[in-house]
Amino acid sequence: MPSFLDRLGVRVLLTILVFLAALGLATAGLVTAGFRRAQASAVERSTEGLESQGAQSLLQMARHEAQLGDALLGQAASLGRLAAGSLVEANAGGALPDCDPAVSQAGGMAVYAPAGADSCSSVNVCQIVTSVAAAATPEIMKMIASTNDTATIGQIMV
């Protein structure tokens, strides 16, 4: 009696099944490799896009900060020039006595402080700064008017 595998039809059928299994495995392997390649490509493009977006955002923020710094320094510079010019004019007219902050001096500045007041006191410094800044921009006047602290006024002036 011939065995089951000796028949030609069974052999052809088994050969076709093995071929289809091999073909299915090859197809599955190629599809998996394609998905992995697409995933790696998407990750690479996403990383490049995020890096580019971050660089553009950083550049925009740096430009904004530079413009803000320019505006603040421009106001401070114009106030400094105005203050220097006013103090030079006041000193040329003899309105400002020599002032050594380490030494308390009696006598006032008739223009800026009441007579008999200490010309180096923080109250008089605030009055001098305020009177010099009267011709400055309204934004600086608002900053000076909102504070009574001489250290803060010194920071605004610088």
DSSP H or E stretch at residue 124: helix 122-132
Q: Take residue 68 and report the two structure tokens written for it.
A: 């803000």
Give the closest residue to 86 by CA, choosing from 121, 126, 158, 136. 136
Nearest to 107 by CA among 91, 127, 115: 115
- Determine the angle formed by the axes of helices 150-157 and 138-145, rounding to 10 degrees: 160
pLDDT recorded at residue 77: 85
Residue for token digits 């900053």? 143
Angle at alpha carbon of residue 152, lines to 150 and 154, rounded to 5°: 70
Burial of 108 (0-12, 13-18, 19+ CB in 10 A): middle
> What range defines the domain where residue 121 resides?
4-157
- Cβ partners under 8 Å of residue 2, min gap 6: none
CA 118 to chain centre: 43
Distance CA 53, CA 47 (A): 10
Number of domains forming the structure of the chain: 1
Structure tokens at 154: 């010194």
Q: What is the pLDDT along the chain (158 residues), one digit of tens a residue?
A: 468 778 888 999 999 999 999 999 999 999 999 999 999 999 999 999 999 999 999 999 999 999 988 888 888 888 888 888 887 877 776 655 555 444 444 543 334 445 555 655 656 666 666 665 554 555 565 666 665 555 554 555 44
| Angle separating helix axes 138-145 and 122-132, nearest 10 degrees | 160
